[in-house]
Amino acid sequence: MPDPTRPPGPTIISVANQKGGVGKTTTTINLSAALVELGYRVLVVDLDPQGNASTGLGIAADDREYTTYDLLLGDIDIHDTIQTTDTKGLWIIPATVDLSSADLEMVANEKRSFLLRDALRQRALDSYAIDFILVDCPPSLSLLTVNAMVASDSVLVPLQSEFFALEGLSQLITTVREVRHAANPHLRIEGIVLTMYDQRNNLSKQVEADARENLGELVFKTVIPRNVRISEAPSFALPVIDYDPTSKGAVAYRALAKELSSRKRVQNG
Ligand code: ADP
Ligand code: MG
């Protein structure tokens, strides 16, 4: 059910998992690009001080004049923070290492959990006619991630197909519940996507079986394989669907975009 108190606008999805290296940034970049290929207009918000999503989408560090730091803590129009990418229909608000001090600076603000939500509600965003905003979260359950969840309709969780993958998930789900209770009652878990899946590895199969048994429908049917093309693409500042359109990685992220957008239609319809 859409929130009637909320103005109509893009569907906002946080890509979150407090573990590092599980595929958050990779999924943000490639799912966004695949959604654009389906005809949607997408904005990526880089909320990780490492700025990997910004780099991966071709925004060099020197070109990040206004960033998510300014969006959260500066008195700045969102328009000035949005940059075009080489993909038409895909925009990004980049991040720099400045963002690493944002948590501390936000604490003093009484609206500290609502800064991203309020920034993304600026009317200046309307002219972009964005369909989806994907927020690439840092590897923590910090105030930055809480800001992402408060601003979002849903949380998409990449889960690396490794031993201990499910560990930590209950903490993430607890945070989602807390945010729901305190600030954003409509926050949903969009789904859990298995990443870096190795078909020949029994461990991958076991993680998948465990995840499907414990989490059921929450787990996307689409699984993202471990694929070298996916890991090469960022150094060419390209999404994998452009870097190698027929690679297994490209095929998988296209399937994920289709699955996500068809789920969305079902839920809204
Ligand atoms: P996170 O944002 O969660 O820290 P990343 O998306 O940066 O994780 O991924 C961590 C590393 O794993 C990166 O070097 C990335 O290129 C690589 N990687 C991610 N997904 C895949 C995949 N499906 N196949 C191969 N390498 C991957
Ligand atoms: Mg990352």
The pLDDT value given to residue 263: 81
Q: What are the structural domains, with CATH classification, of the chain? A: 11-267 (3.40.50.300)
For residue 17, which of 136, 164, 150 has the smallest C-alpha distance?
136
Residue 224 near ligand 1, beta carbon < 6 Å: yes
CA dihedral 190, 35, 131, 118 (to 10 degrees): 60
Does residue 25 have its Cβ closer than 6 Å to ligand 1? Answer: yes
Q: From the CB of 24, is ligand 1 less than 6 Å away?
A: yes
Sign of torsion over alpha carbons 182, 187, 193, 196? negative
**C-alpha span between 197 and 203 (Å, rounded):** 9
Question: Ligand 1: does its nearest atom lie under 6 Å from the Cβ of 20?
Answer: yes
194 CB within 6 A, ligand 1: no
C-beta 47 within 6 A of ligand 1: no
Distance from the CA of 26 to the center of ligand 1, in angstroms?
5
H-type alpha helices, 108-168:
115-120, 143-151
Ranges of H-type helices in 58-217: 68-73, 102-107, 115-120, 143-151, 169-182, 202-215
pTM here is 0.95
CA of 87 to the centre of ligand 2 (A): 20
Name which of 191, 188, 177, 95 is nearest 144 in CA terms: 95
Q: Position 269: which residue type?
A: G
Closest by Cα among 199, 123, 124, 212 to 166 = 212
How many Cβ atoms are within 10 Å of 245's Cβ, its own excluded? 13
Instruction: Specify the residue with its C-alpha closest to ligand 1, atom 10.
Output: 21
How far does the centroid of ligand 1 lie from the alpha carbon of residue 23, in Å? 4
Residue 22 CB–ligand 1 contact under 6 Å: yes
CA distance 66 to 110: 24
Residue 17 is which amino acid? N
Give yes or no for residue 247 CB within 6 A of ligand 1.
no
Ligand 1 in reach of 245 Cβ (< 6 A): no
Q: Among 231, 238, 241, which is best to mutate for testing ligand 1, by the most ligand atoms less than 8 A from CB?
A: 231
Q: Closest Cα to atom 14, ligand 1: which residue? A: 231
Ligand 2 centroid, distance to 117 Cα (angstroms): 21
Cβ density class 206-230: b for 16+ within 10 Å, e for less? ebbeebeeebeeebbebbbbbbeeb
- Of the candidates 66, 77, 13, the one whose C-alpha atom is nearest the C-alpha of residue 40 is 13
pLDDT in tens, the chain (269 residues): 444 554 568 999 999 999 999 999 999 999 999 999 999 999 999 999 999 999 999 999 999 999 999 999 998 999 999 999 999 999 999 999 999 999 999 999 999 999 999 999 999 999 999 999 999 999 999 999 999 999 999 999 999 988 788 888 999 999 999 999 999 999 999 999 999 999 899 999 999 999 999 999 999 999 999 999 999 999 999 999 999 999 999 999 999 999 999 986 555 43
Contact 262/233 with Cβ under 8 angstroms?
no
